[in-house]
Amino acid sequence: MQGWLSIFIMLIVGLAFGGIMVGLGVLLGPSKPSPEKSAPYECGMPAVGDARERQSVKFYLVAMIFLLFDIEVAFLYPWAMALRDLGWPGFVQVVLFMGLLLTGYIYVWRKGALDWGADK
């Protein structure tokens, strides 16, 4: 239980700090609401349309491709850690692995999955 005390204090302090700051703002600050100020974001352009708009399906495609390549690259970390132990055989395997990924990348590219334009 001893170890949790500091976390508990941290939690109290954090909550209290947030509460006090918001409270001071409400109490001391002048309040003159206007439509512009009530907009979700006070800076930049006024919002156009609904935020729950449909995304282009391209978005999902790129997201999926990113997900795959991103995760595959995670294999490089353990290899880098064991680089010296694995030696040349390990290097050959990683090059083969990257070569396979590259084939996939070429495929995705040639198939036009990465084209992000309205020209098609």
Applying CB under 8 A, which residues contact another protein?
Answer: 57, 60, 64-65, 67-68, 70-72, 74-75, 78, 89, 100, 103-104, 106-107, 109-111
Q: Which is nearer to another protein, 5 or 57 (CB)?
A: 57
CA-nearest of 97, 116, 118, 120 to 108 is 116
Quote the Cα angle for 6-9-11, to 5°: 110
> 């600050």: which residue's tokens?
29
Q: Which is nearer to another protein, 42 or 119 (CB)?
A: 119
CB of 111: closest distance to another protein in angstroms? 6
